[in-house]
Structure 1
């Protein structure tokens, strides 16, 4: 069995943002030499996400608006108990919970086996600092 482990590093300049990481992940699958297997890609921070969806700017704007309505940014400790610890990112933890931690994608004939329009994204909900994503490829 072959395997490859790599880490991707991001520092998103805004508090919230989405980055299409599909081309980078595809290069890592190719580098691994795996023809049949699985890709695991996960955010290694509890205020960031990895998810699959369509790369359409309007949809990304809709996600940002929807997430902000569900868990609005409010640094005060009055809204979120977590912020009573001295943090100001309780909303980011909740947004991550909604968008998910990781994705698993089949590798078939050396390529990510996506459905139509599917792409892999890094989602940031508490930006301005470095964070990392694990990419692990396993298979034959």
Structure 2
């Protein structure tokens, strides 16, 4: 069995954003040479997320609005975590959107369903963060 590891780095200029990272993950798969196995992608920061869904602007806008209703950023005083900080809402948004995804690798390709793409979700941006790509298989 082979194993491959790579870190993808992001510095999102906005506080929140959804970044399609499918091509970067596909490039990792190609670089790994693995044809059959599993590909894990996980956010390596507690205020960021990795998830799979459709790359459609309306859906992303809906996500942003929905997450803001569930865990509003302001007023920051509503959160105990925000003593000296302002990102408690980002931790909650990450919890909802998830930490990682696992995608099957079949015949050297990510084995997606229709319209599925991998996204990095940023909820407290404006600084460097990373996601881990770990691929195992043959």
* TM-score normalised by structure 1 residue count: 0.97
**Contact map agreement 1:37 1:107 (CA 8 A) in 2:** yes
Counterpart-to-counterpart distance in 1, 2:45 and 2:116 = 23
Counterpart-to-counterpart distance in 2, 1:101 and 1:51 = 7
Counterparts of residues 79-98 of structure 1 (less than 5 Å): 79-84=78-83, 86-98=84-96
In structure 1, what is the equivalent of residue 64 of structure 2? 64
SS in 2 for 1:103: strand
Q: Deviations over 1:6-59 (max 9, x none)?
A: 000001111000000000100110111111000000000000000000000000
In angstroms, what is the RMSD of aligned CA positions? 0.8
Q: Deviations over 1:109-129 (max 9, x none)?
A: 000000000000000000100
Unaligned runs of 5+ in 1: none
In structure 2, what is the equivalent of residue 44 of structure 1? 44
Give the deviation of 1:75 after TM superposition: 5.6
Counterpart-to-counterpart distance in 1, 2:125 and 2:76 = 18
Counterparts of residues 11-30 of structure 1 (less than 5 Å): 11-30=11-30
In structure 2, what is the equivalent of residue 110 of structure 1? 108
Q: Deviations over 1:57-107 (max 9, x none)?
A: 000000000000100112633x001012x1110000000000000000000
In structure 1, what is the equivalent of residue 8 of structure 2? 8
Unaligned runs of 5+ in 2: none
In structure 2, what is the equivalent of residue 73 of structure 1? 73
1:128 pairs with one of 126, 129, 133: 126
Counterpart-to-counterpart distance in 1, 2:76 and 2:119 = 30
Counterpart-to-counterpart distance in 1, 2:76 and 2:56 = 33
